[in-house]
Amino acid sequence: MIKEIVRRDFKLIDENEEIRKIFGYIYGEAEFPIIVSNKKAIGIIDERNLIKSRVLGNEKIKRFVVGVPKIDGTFSIQKAKSVMIASGADRLIVTSEKEIIGYVRLVDILKKTGLQKTAKELMKSIPSLEEKNTVAEAINIMKTSNRKFVPVLFDKKFSGVIGVREILPLISTKEKARDYHPEKTSLLETSLVGLVREIPICNENEKGDEIIKIIEERDVVAVCRGNEYLGLIEEIDLL
């Protein structure tokens, strides 16, 4: 049953709180936020929504909430997986006797059922940028592709990714750019140098079960042929 694998590292946050209250989770420093209205779960934060408009931090959380299904802790693994597939959600809120007891991730389900696909079958070919490109260009790709991460190359070789975690501090501040280009007045005009996050790399024949382990720990994996970038795999791609 799902209650045997439910994750309990969560915090209930009211929809009328300021969005900055969940920034700690985005930065990997706080528990998973489940958003409630009148003490009833209404959804979770979709990180992709945070970069679709300028975020100052004082906006109400409810602007960024996405609804996800709630399931009972007595659900079977297969039934929970079916709910994920039908809803397109990679996280579900878990309840017991109408009380929220936690949440479950797609990787938790797949660790039980297995995943008979290779990296080549799972990856998505997201447009890449060079480190010399700007933060604004990365945001544009995130918006158009509806992704959390953008691949970054250096001398045409895969370097890493830039994600919501790296971009959020830049779009939620009023500070001016502080680089070697005094004519730039916005942090969004700065290059990606120094912002790129290193992530695990696998080859296109990597098996699904190994990819599950990587995604659980690092959220994203790059698929490469040597130094040649082929695509990215995020948790949602495992559905």
Residue 97 has pLDDT above 90, yes or no: yes
Q: pLDDT tens-digit profile of 149-180? A: 999 999 999 999 999 999 998 888 654 444 43
**pTM of this prediction?**
0.91
What's the pLDDT at 191?
94
Q: pLDDT tens-digit profile of 112-151? A: 999 999 999 999 999 999 999 999 999 999 999 999 999 9
Q: How far is CA 169 from the centre of its chain?
A: 16
Residue ranges and CATH numbers for the domains of the chain are 2-113 (3.10.580.10), 119-238 (3.10.580.10)
- Asked if 42 contacts 63 with a C-beta cutoff of 8 angstroms, the reply is no
Task: Locate 198 and state its tokens.
Answer: 């290193």
Burial 48-66 (b: 16+ CB within 10 A, else e): bebbeeebeeebebeebbe
What's the pLDDT at 183?
47
What's the pLDDT at 174?
52
